[in-house]
Amino acid sequence: MENKLQLTDLSCSYQGKIILDGLSLSLKNNEILCLLGPSGCGKTTALKAMAGLMPTHSGEIAIDGQQVNGNNIFVPPEKRNIGMIFQDYALFPHLSVAGNVGFGIRKMAKAQLGERVKELLALVKLDGLGERYPHQLSGGQQQRVAIARALAYSPQLLLLDEPFSNIDTQVRYELIDEIRDILKSQQMSAVFVTHSKEEGFAFADKMAVMDQGKIAQLDTPEVLFNHPNSPFVAEFLGKGVYIPAKVLSSTEVDCALGVIASTSEINFPFGTEGELFVRPQYFQLNQTGEPNAQVKHKTFIGSGFTYQMAFEQLSIDVFSPQNLPLAAKVELSVVPHHLHLFLP
């Protein structure tokens, strides 16, 4: 089966600055891909290039097996059969909800158009709201209208640019789950841009972490988080601390906190020295053990506390449900988990 989307060695620059640098990726049918990265990494430029809204200098783009960019070929945006959803919804304020949803549908009888709009509003859980106007809806409802409008003419590919950034935190992840279910039910392939790793984890089948116009790593959210291939990817997906360590065996390393076990094989020869990257949730505080660290700062976050621990010359962030007093001296250790060891 042809890939729904294929980018091959795509490059783009603006005012002498390289924005995309040999970007290559593919997207399967009914797959949701997240382009994730810090501001200026090129993720939005890549999305605009797929849509035909940004010129490229080299490389190729193919949608559903048909080349739309490269080798003196350029298919304009309106003929690429793609749907786009923006962070500001881009709804027409003078049109009703039904009018917005049906706006892009062409060559359909009025009765058929009405049924199609009704069907789409039911799909996005806006039954009975067709006569309302965008300003009468919540942010989440407006985004559902934008989804329905994008799906109205059955595009081959859906592109979403920061679609949840203007949604209240309380309803954001409920909406993410609902829209993901909608896209899956419609067998829709989608590319989704965000700077939020949490949104990417919740919405995407695969994630491409971008850095300076290139893909640093592309895989499932679980693999990226548990098996980052570089310090950049590890740090972007969650804070942690580096501790000098030495490989003792295929499942153990030695460091200032003692011998730490790995739940998966360590792919470095015995005796290799590197930097162990440990996230806050893998540290453990024991009030009855041999003290080796001290509480310097604490913050209550509802489900527990985040502590800033002083250990030798390091400042280590730790999460724990325990309520420890400031300046408390406790034993700090690391629970067995998949270890991230990076060479200097």
In this predicted model, what pLDDT tens digit does every residue of 27-47 receive, in sequence order? 999 999 999 999 999 999 999
Q: pLDDT digit string (tens) for 171-180?
A: 899 999 999 9
Domain(s) labelled CATH 3.40.50.300 in the chain stretch across 5-235
Q: Provide the CATH topology of domain 239-342.
A: OB fold (Dihydrolipoamide Acetyltransferase, E2P) (2.40.50)
Query: Is pLDDT of 112 > 90?
Result: no
pLDDT band, residue 108 (cuts 50/70/90): confident
Rounded CA gap, 339 and 215, in Å?
A: 23
Q: What is the pLDDT of residue 299?
A: 97
Domain(s) labelled CATH 2.40.50.140 in the chain stretch across 239-342
Q: pLDDT digit string (tens) for 263-280?
A: 999 999 999 999 999 999
Please provide the CATH number assigned to the domain covering 5-235.
3.40.50.300
Nearest to 122 by CA among 158, 153, 147: 147
Decide: 149 and 101 in contact? Cβ < 8 Å: yes
pLDDT band, residue 153 (cuts 50/70/90): confident
Decide: 274 and 245 in contact? Cβ < 8 Å: yes
Look at 106 and 53; give whichever has higher pLDDT: 53
Decide: helix, strand or coil at residue 86: coil
Q: What are the angstrom distances between the C-alpha of 59 and each of 11, 70, 79, 88?
A: 6, 6, 20, 30
Rounded CA gap, 63 and 68, in Å?
A: 7
Burial of 168 (0-12, 13-18, 19+ CB in 10 A): exposed
Give the pLDDT mean for 57-79: 93
pLDDT band, residue 258 (cuts 50/70/90): very high
pLDDT band, residue 1 (cuts 50/70/90): low
* Displacement of CA 75 from its chain's centroid (Å): 28
Query: What residues pair up with 315 in beta bridges, in sequence order?
Result: 310
Q: What is the pLDDT of residue 15?
A: 84
The pTM of the full predicted model, rounded to 2 decimals, is: 0.90
pLDDT band, residue 307 (cuts 50/70/90): very high
